Structure 1
Amino acid sequence: MIKEVQQAFKMICMDKMLSDGYFDMSIYIYGRIKKDEMYAKLVAHKSKYAALYRGTYPNQDNALSVWNSKMQKQENTNNEQKIKLAYVEASAIVNWVYRSFRNAQERENFTLELLREIKDFAGIQNSVRFSNGVVYNAAKVELHFFSSVSEYKLFYFFFKEA
């Protein structure tokens, strides 16, 4: 696996799971990150990963070759030995990988496969759950999804009184 991609998923998924007990993949699964906005953030950050956002997103068949092509051009002008990603870069890389899938269902399946591949959940393998694009440790975090303000108010009312 490409080291930058590995590090990006570690930052976005594992580090967040271990520190906060959850990570939200819904923005990647449902394609909520706008390409031009991510590109602008990367350019502002002077990131070499802005090159990934020029042109079209890859597909599963050509993602590796597109990555190698775009990143090799950057390597020629940017000889960094140690990879140190900023959070925006990690998010951009994860988003780019997720956009190589055709639709939300494929992205969700990839997320589920990713969970199977992550070996070290610090002893919480049996407590890990996946709902609405959020992966969480059920022993540490309780999730509530609201589809309206009235649902939230009702929930707040009942728990405020408790």
Structure 2
Amino acid sequence: MTALSLDIRLERPEDAEAIERLHARAFGPGRFARTAYRLREGAHLPPELCFTAMVGTYLVGSIRFSPVEAGRTPLLALGPLTVDPSFSSRGIGRSLMNAGLDAARARGHSLVMLIGDLPYYRRFGFSVVPPGRLVLPGPADPARILWLALSEGAVDRISGSVSARREP
């Protein structure tokens, strides 16, 4: 396998169609019914927290963070993290995660949550949310509700129903 010339950069408005096609290839039409999509529905996407992975002019990956709140406490919902299936297992997801988490830390965000596979996200420091601490707007396997504190004590003060924050 040859090394990729990978460029991780901030998402641009002109990337929207390519990202939507990428999501369709990776997740299929059922993605809109998933709780993770419903959680982010209508949320403002902060441009400083959305990244793409490019190989030449081809968009091969994307990561987005949406502002949400649990009770009245702000946090970020990670997702989707998407890599073109034909480019999987090449470190693209890891590169996008590192760029996104570094940007979130640099901008003073305290906590990131997601619905995903612990074996993958554990390497970035994510852990399972204790049962009942976060209530999502739809069904989710409790073992797949994960969070990562970006600042000391961030998980100590978070609980409640999670919903999108619509204001930028």
Q: TM-score, structure 1 length as denominator?
A: 0.24
Structure with more of its chain in helix, by fraction: 1
Structure with more of its chain in strand, by fraction: 2
Higher relative contact order (CA 8 A, sep 6+): 1
Q: TM-score, structure 2 length as denominator?
A: 0.23
**Larger Rg computed on CA atoms:** 1
